[in-house]
Amino acid sequence: MNSSRSILFNTGSLLALLLLVLVLPEYHQGNFARIMVLACFACAYNISFGYTGLLSLGHAMFFSAGLYGVGLTVQLLDFPAELGFLIGIGCGAVLAFAVGLLALRTTGVSFMIVTLMFSQAFFLTILLFGEVTRGDEGFVIAQAKRTFFGVDLSSDAVRLLVSWVLICICVLICQACVRSRLGKVLIAIRENEERTRMLGYDVFRAKLYALTLSGAMAALAGGAYGLLFGYAGATFASVQYSIFPLLWVLLGGAGTLVGPLIGTALMFYLIDISSGITSAYMLVAGVALVLLTLYVPEGIVGTLRRRYLPWIQ
């Protein structure tokens, strides 16, 4: 019964989101198209951090691997968007697997620092090959190349619908992961890694699976961002795009299915509104994080689950 309630809650949340974006003004529809794609990135981070307890500061490289995997193959090599999208996801998965083989030999703060170092190396590599990647300036993906199975992704209505479909897919992937045997092992690792190891589970392999899946989903979000919005730039590989998904997940609720979506939307509008008031908008985001840590440490959906609805996944 609790499982059915959770499925109904998550499904109802996604349907309510669709109805909301359809009646919003054009400006907010454009915002929510970006929010839903970035929420896919947050869902990817939630697998690593929320369910496995891996505090990574390197997820920007997975997102940008998907972004550049699509952008460079489609724009420079003239690959079809469908193939470029698969290549982008593959780049993120392979990169996450390779990084995991090395970074997962460390734990805690050391893991965080190692992933940050890999991410910064990836960022500097993009800048180094600026003649191809165009560095911080980035490059625009031509509208004619952003056609996916005959559908023009540059259309506002299509972009909104595709973004919603993508966040639904990512939530379903997370739900399937959580309900699987692997998902239960990941949660056990998060709660007590040593005890999980003593029970005979291969902790390293499970964490490597989780990081690889997380990297592939982050690359999916990056590739989708490139195709839907037609831009790829080194900014998406910078450290702030490794911090953003952490903030989104913490705000919405780590280890919950729709928490990353809610956290992404709230943080997006917080930064959007504060950036119109002051150039120190990241300071506002920092203050929000401090207040969150003090008063709602489990995030919005996490607090709702603890106090009122314990069956929410």
User: Do 160 and 34 form a contact (C-beta atoms < 8 A)?
Assistant: no
Closest CA to 181 of 213, 212, 199, 206: 206
- Report residues of the chain scoring pLDDT below 50: none
**13 in a structural domain:** yes
Q: Cα separation of 235 and 229, whole Å?
A: 15
Model pLDDT, residue 2 = 67
Model pLDDT, residue 34 = 96
Taking the whole predicted model, whether its pTM rises above 0.85 is answered as yes
**158 in a structural domain:** yes
Which residues 6+ apart lie within 8 Å of 117 measured at CB?
none
pLDDT in tens, 225-244: 999 999 999 999 999 899 99
User: Do 285 and 247 form a contact (C-beta atoms < 8 A)?
Assistant: yes
Supply 229's token pair: 């919005």
- How distant, in Å, are the alpha carbons of 15, 49, 54, 188, 263 from that of 112? 36, 11, 8, 20, 22
Q: Cα separation of 108 and 281, whole Å?
A: 29
Number of domain units in the chain: 1
* Containing structural domain, residue 108: 2-236
Model pLDDT, residue 201 = 95
**301 in a structural domain:** no
Closest CA to 147 of 91, 88, 79: 79
**200 in a structural domain:** yes
Supply 201's token pair: 């589970």
User: Do 60 and 222 form a contact (C-beta atoms < 8 A)?
Assistant: no
Q: Cα separation of 63 and 169, whole Å?
A: 17
User: Do 122 and 61 form a contact (C-beta atoms < 8 A)?
Assistant: yes
pLDDT in tens, 4-42: 888 888 899 999 999 999 898 988 999 999 999 999 999
**306 in a structural domain:** no
Count CB-CB contacts under 10 A for residue 172. Answer: 14
User: Do 210 and 48 form a contact (C-beta atoms < 8 A)?
Assistant: yes
User: Do 219 and 88 form a contact (C-beta atoms < 8 A)?
Assistant: yes
**243 in a structural domain:** no
**310 in a structural domain:** no
